[in-house]
Amino acid sequence: MADSVVSQYLYLLDSAFDYSRWHSVVGNLNSVQPENWTWIPPGGDRSIQFIVEHIGLCKIKYENHAFGDEDLRWNDRLVEDESVFSTVPSAIEWLRSCNNTWRRSVAALADEDLLQPRKTNLGESVETRWIISAMLEHDLYHAGEINFIRFLHNPELNWYEDDHLRSVHLAQTARSDAGRP
């Protein structure tokens, strides 16, 4: 299993979602201050809070269409309790739940399943590996967006110098604790 293509996808998905301090969704969310959470940049149209909800909803929808019964629509109520978005920690907890469901479905795949067509939330059939790659890229894109909005709101803060060594240590510890290289 350690050398399987699926295991490599899982490693990359984990890195994009949580294990990389500088490029992951959760890594960037961990530095979001309460005053950054709902702030919308001048000329922008969404807050970090909105982006987090979007990331989670996409994980729910893509998982449902690729691995489930394909019955979820954008106008369905996909979040039972909107108060999960009131704070960064509660939103991260909700987002982790969405990601865990997505990750379990990917983890259940065999390598030969990666070329099989599956549905996207838009109803098109594509190879499973395309869907996994799209979700990986989706996390990385929005992690950067979160980082940029955070910087726009607090340009005087320098997260790199303060957090770099600590974050490298935390990432290595998390990988080690999870049994990953």
49-81 exposure pattern, b = at least 16 Cβ within 10 A, e = fewer: bebbbebbbbbbbbbbbbbeeeebeeeeeeeee
| Domain region containing 162 | 5-177
- Which residues, in sequence order, are bridge partners of residue 125? 119
Lowest-pLDDT range of 34-43, 45-54, 79-88, 106-115: 79-88
Strands (E), the chain: 117-119, 125-127
29: part of which helix (H) or strand (E)?
helix 25-29
At 156 the three-state DSSP class reads coil
Residues 6 or more apart whose Cβ sits within 8 Å of residue 87: 34, 37
Q: In the numeric block, which tokens belong to residue 125? A: 């059939």
What is the rounded average pLDDT of the residues 116-132?
95
pLDDT, tens digit, 9 for 90 and up, residues 37-81:
999 999 999 999 999 999 999 999 999 999 988 776 666 666 677
The CATH number for 157's domain is 1.20.120.450
Determine contact, residues 51/146, Cβ cutoff 8 Å.
yes
pLDDT, tens digit, 9 for 90 and up, residues 66-76:
998 877 666 66
Domain count, the chain: 1
